[in-house]
Amino acid sequence: MEKKYYDIAQLRAQVSITQFLTDLGFTPAKRSAGETFYHSMIREGDFTPSFCVNEKMGLWFDHGLGKGGNLFDLAMAMWPELSFQEVLHKIAGRLADVSILSGSLKPLPAENSPVKDSWHKITSITELGGNKSLMEYLDFRGIKDIARDYLKEVRYEVTLKEGKQKTFCAAGWPNEKGGWEIRSASFKGCLGKKGISLIEGASSKLSLFEGFMDFLSWRKTNPSYADTVIVLNSVVNLKEVLPIAAHYAAVDVFFDNDVSGKKASAELISAIPYARDQATAYLDYKDYNEKYMSEHPRPWKERSEILTSQLYKPISGKR
C-alpha cells in the first residue's frame, strides 16, 4: 500500500504557533511589539518569561537557550522522542481538515537537530541609515547616534508560514561564531550560530553586558571608557565567558535585573569573587537601556501603549 505524507507547507500555513501552544494548555505571559512571550515550555526555570513567538514570521525564539525556529522545530523540541512523521501527525491531529498528499517527505538534517538555520537568508549587510523605521526605533531606544559606530543594517529573507518569502530589516552586529545578533521593533534573535561579541580594550579591566542595547547605552554615558567589553548576547553564553573573565584584574557586571540576569550575575561572582555587580546603578529598572530611556525619553510614532508601559515602568514600581 502506498505510504501517504502530510503536506508540510499547508500544515505550517494552517497551524499558528500561538494556537498550537494554546491547544496544549500554554498561556502567554505578555505581548509586546508584535511578539507573544511565554514561560519556556522546552526548558526548566524560565521565570522571566523569555520564550517569544513572532506570529507574522511564523517563528519562535527561546532567549534562554539562544535557539529558535518554526512550528516543526518547536514540536520536535517538545517531543524529542518522536520521529518527524509522528510529530507531523500530532500537529495535524489538531485540525479538522488536513490535506494528505502522496510523495516523498524531505528528511531532517543528519544530526536530527530541532533547530535549523534554513528559516532565513541574509541578503545584505550595509551601514545604518537606509531604513527610516529602523532608525526611528533606535532613536526611541536612545542609541541612534552611537549605533552607527557599532551596528549594521541587516536585511534578511524569511519564508513565512504560508510559504511566501519576505525581506525584513534589523540592526545587528556579528558575534564571535560568525552569527549576527539582530534587533528591530518587532524581532529579537540571531541569524546563524549564537555566540558572544568581544570589543578589545584594556587588558586589566572587563565589563560584561547581556545585550548590545545595554552596552551602547552604557557607552553613551561613559564616552572615555577603555575597558575590554564582552556582550553575552544571551546568558546561555555565560560559561563561555567565565575562563576569559578570570584573566582580568577587574570585572564589572551589568546584567539584567530579572531572574535570569541575577542568576547569571551570582554564578559569575561565585566563580570570580572580586567581580562587581553594577546592576545596583539601575536597580529600579530591568536593564541599563531601560534606565537610560527613562532618563532620556525619545518619541517613536509606532510605539504601542503596551510597549511604552513596559519600557518606562520601573521594576519596583517607583522612580
d(CA 75, CA 20): 9
Q: How far is CA 141 from CA 184, 200, 216, in A?
A: 11, 25, 10
pLDDT per residue rounded down to tens, the chain (319 residues): 344 456 666 777 778 899 888 888 888 888 876 788 998 888 877 777 888 898 877 888 887 777 788 888 888 888 888 877 788 877 877 654 444 333 333 333 333 333 344 567 899 999 999 999 999 999 999 999 999 999 999 999 887 666 678 888 999 999 999 999 999 887 888 888 889 999 999 899 999 999 999 999 999 999 888 999 999 998 889 999 999 999 999 999 999 998 889 999 999 999 999 999 999 999 989 999 999 999 988 876 544 433 433 333 333 333 3
Indicate the burial class of 192 (C-beta count within 10 angstroms; 0-12, 13-18, 19 or more). Answer: middle
d(CA 131, CA 44): 38
| Ramachandran angles phi, psi of 30, nearest 5° | -165, 165
Query: Could you tell me whether strands 30-32 and 59-62 are parallel, antiparallel, or unpaired per DSSP bridges?
Result: unpaired
d(CA 221, CA 224): 9
Question: How many residues are given for the chain?
Answer: 319
Q: Which residue carries 526611528 as its cell?
A: 136
d(CA 234, CA 194): 8
| Ramachandran angles phi, psi of 49, nearest 5° | -85, 160
d(CA 285, CA 318): 9
d(CA 35, CA 101): 33
The candidate with the shortest Cα–Cα distance to 199, out of 218, 182, 221, 184, is 218
Q: Which residue carries 518569502 as its cell?
A: 165
* pTM strictly above 0.85: no
Secondary structure class of 205 (helix, strand, coil): strand
